[in-house]
Amino acid sequence: MLMVGRALHSRVLWLGLLLGLVATMGVLRVVRPMYRSEVVLVYRASPGANIVSQTEGDPSRQLAARLKEMLLTRERVVGLVKEFHLYPDQVRRSGLLDAA
């Protein structure tokens, strides 16, 4: 208990904590956080709809290719880049379409 009391009255301890806090705030202002996101896509076909053609190949692969095409169309991606201001450096350097 005596050592804890002395440590709390120590100027070196408080100075170290203050410098650490200032350094942490400086690093957080300079370094931009990088976010990673994941999406789970749930697809349910409407009754009577046949999105998968009756051609050769695995139907699940055909459905996956169709969903990927729907999600990654240029219009959708450009809209998302605009709406959420994604890739600002890339948009400034080479334009909106290249960023998409």
CA distance 81 to 34: 16
58 pLDDT exceeds 70? yes
- Answer yes or no: is pLDDT of 26 > 80: yes
Q: Is 31 left (phi over 0), alpha (psi -120 to 50) or beta?
A: beta
How high is the pLDDT of residue 55? 53
Most confident option among 30-34, 47-51, 57-61:
30-34
Using a cut of 0.85, tell me whether the model's pTM lies above it.
Answer: no
Whole-angstrom Cα distance, residue 29 to residue 4? 33
Q: What is the DSSP letter of 30?
A: H
> pLDDT band at 35, cuts 50/70/90?
confident
State the first-to-last Cα distance of the chain, in angstroms, to the nearest integer.
61
User: Residue 68: its pLDDT value, please?
Assistant: 79
Confidence class for position 24, pLDDT limits 50, 70, 90? very high
Q: Which residues contact 5 (CB under 8 A, 6 or more apart)?
A: none
By the 8 A CB rule, do 96 and 81 touch?
Answer: yes
CB 7 within 8 A of CB 13: yes
pLDDT over 80 (residue 34):
no
Q: Is the pLDDT of residue 52 over 60?
A: no
